Chain A
């Protein structure tokens, strides 16, 4: 297999097309523009590929909802403020159980914010984001290789659970180039009975999210909840780095996790036994796996490029069994490994 040097945004586009994505709609916004550009250039080279630059983010999410209902593999992408606009559509896709991949290349916020890398959309991504009782699967890559792998996996998960999947990365992941190998995508498994392709001589089919009867609506909500419980049980992914002898464990995802690894290398060269727990799925959050660590490790430090959002999930996971410290750099400021190492060193207490 060939290794190629590509930027994160282009990698997502290439991985999506290889995974069989045949409908993409999007509206330009930095720092994800190169992804839309890549789809514009390359979607037309595959049979049945459709690219639409929509009139707005809202139009794009509704276009992919429609194409998903018609049975295509679909994707849209945007950056923070644009993702906010898509929320009604994402909620609608979750209600109608329509698979689709939504890419959020986060920028500094709130509001229009800036175009620097940030992780301020964690709450929005992991708590559903839109209205109503629903969840989206959230994948958080930390390298260009993972961008390729998780984009492909995102399509499989979306089909498997008939649910929207969000790829959550930031401007640095989108702009950075790294070598990448595109793996062979798995063949699509998706039952034709979920596709609206004209009734022909058969029975009419409906996909609708408007359920006026409260008992029916309740039943639909519980059905979704049971599905989310299965996802939580089966689809939790994480990485452990230098955990075995660690006295203190950092919890970080995406770009922050890379900086954390750099800090850990520095700290270990000074004899401090620090490890990293990196959630790869942000929802479902690897709660039980993190709690297990607290049986032997009592110091945790959450590091995010935000004012502290995943921190809540770490608190819920650890349930008071260990001390939790926090370091955050919101608004697009990217800390250096040495800055983070200094912070950690202050909190690090040697166990006797």
Chain B
């Protein structure tokens, strides 16, 4: 088993946090994991992305030339990465912001209105956690319990209210998709 996922969006949308928390949950389940952020002379308001590989054996390259999953939080990321996804892979779209349709027809597309759902919950900043709810359900690499525990570990245990909000956000995303 080897699952490679690219998380992408604007800087500030919590794209790296999605990757780190997913990688951490993979580690908690005992898998081999790598997390590779895109780094460089990025502009404010520019794009951010990271690649997470999770496998049951040693991971050779942390780069994904043909990722299984693509999580897209804004439209530019869709154009940048959609050609890379392997046939039969999945795209997770932040459908609140991304109005464009993927041109790939050999992949599954999951539309999650995560910015809208986040606003309903009263905090736009949990849009990434909502997306993770949908992503964790469909990708089925780790259980929701393991993921949420990892998220709490990374966020720190001091902010009880934040943990509660994240949990709610995660469930909102989890419930808005079907596995198939």
Q: Which residues of A does B touch, CB under 8 Å?
A: 3, 5, 7, 30-31, 115-116, 171-172, 175-179, 258-263, 265, 334, 336-338
- The reply to whether B40 and A115 form a contact with Cβ atoms under 8 Å apart is yes
- The reply to whether A336 and B65 form a contact with Cβ atoms under 8 Å apart is yes
Query: Would you call B58 an interface residue if the criterion is a C-beta within 8 Å of the partner chain's C-beta atoms?
Result: yes
A13 to chain B, nearest CB (A): 17
12 contacts between A and B (CB under 8 A): A5-B24, A5-B33, A30-B39, A177-B20, A178-B33, A178-B34, A179-B33, A258-B61, A261-B60, A337-B60, A337-B65, A338-B65
Q: How far is the CA of A262 from the CA of B34 in the complex (A)?
A: 14
Q: A175-B37, A175-B39, A178-B33 are in contact. Are A337 and B20 (CB under 8 A)?
A: no
Q: A5-B20, A115-B40 are in contact. Are A258 and B35 (CB under 8 A)?
A: no
Query: Would you call B141 an interface residue if the criterion is a C-beta within 8 Å of the partner chain's C-beta atoms?
Result: no
- The reply to whether A176 and B36 form a contact with Cβ atoms under 8 Å apart is yes
Q: Which residues of B does A touch, CB under 8 Å?
A: 20, 23-24, 27, 32-37, 39-41, 58-63, 65
Q: A175-B36, A338-B65 are in contact. List 17 more A-B contacts (CB 8 A).
A: A3-B27, A5-B24, A5-B27, A31-B39, A115-B39, A116-B40, A171-B39, A172-B63, A175-B39, A176-B36, A178-B35, A179-B27, A179-B33, A258-B62, A259-B60, A334-B63, A336-B61
- The reply to whether A5 and B60 form a contact with Cβ atoms under 8 Å apart is no
**Chain A residue at smallest Cβ distance from B25:** A5
Q: A115-B40, A177-B20, A179-B27 are in contact. Are A5 and B35 (CB under 8 A)?
A: yes
Chain B residues, Cβ within 8 Å of A179: 27, 32-33
**Chain B residue at smallest Cβ distance from A173:** B62
Q: A265-B60, A336-B65, A337-B61 are in contact. Are A176 and B27 (CB under 8 A)?
A: no
A303 to chain B, nearest CB (A): 12
**Chain B residue at smallest Cβ distance from A114:** B40
B34 to chain A, nearest CB (A): 5
Chain A residues, Cβ within 8 Å of B39: 30-31, 115, 171, 175
Chain A residues, Cβ within 8 Å of B23: 5, 177
**Chain B residue at smallest Cβ distance from A265:** B60
Chain A residues, Cβ within 8 Å of B35: 5, 7, 176-178
- The reply to whether B20 and A336 form a contact with Cβ atoms under 8 Å apart is no
Q: How far is the CA of A336 from the CA of B37 in the complex (A)?
A: 17
Q: How far is the CA of A260 from the CA of B27 in the complex (A)?
A: 24
Q: How far is the CA of A5 from the CA of B35 in the complex (A)?
A: 9
Q: How far is the CA of A338 from the CA of B86 in the complex (A)?
A: 13
Chain A residues, Cβ within 8 Å of B20: 5, 177
Chain B residues, Cβ within 8 Å of A5: 20, 23-24, 27, 33, 35
A77 to chain B, nearest CB (A): 16
**Chain A residue at smallest Cβ distance from B52:** A177
Chain A residues, Cβ within 8 Å of B40: 30, 115-116
- The reply to whether A172 and B60 form a contact with Cβ atoms under 8 Å apart is no
Q: How far is the CA of A179 from the CA of B35 in the complex (A)?
A: 10
- The reply to whether B62 and A176 form a contact with Cβ atoms under 8 Å apart is yes
- The reply to whether B63 and A336 form a contact with Cβ atoms under 8 Å apart is yes
A70 to chain B, nearest CB (A): 36
Chain A residues, Cβ within 8 Å of B24: 5
**Chain B residue at smallest Cβ distance from A336:** B65
Chain A residues, Cβ within 8 Å of B34: 176-178
Highest count of chain A CB atoms <10 Å: which of B20, B39, B65: B39
Chain A residues, Cβ within 8 Å of B61: 258-259, 262, 336-337
Chain A residues, Cβ within 8 Å of B41: 115
Chain B residues, Cβ within 8 Å of A338: 65
B58 to chain A, nearest CB (A): 7
Q: How far is the CA of A3 from the CA of B31 in the complex (A)?
A: 12
Q: How far is the CA of A172 from the CA of B34 in the complex (A)?
A: 11
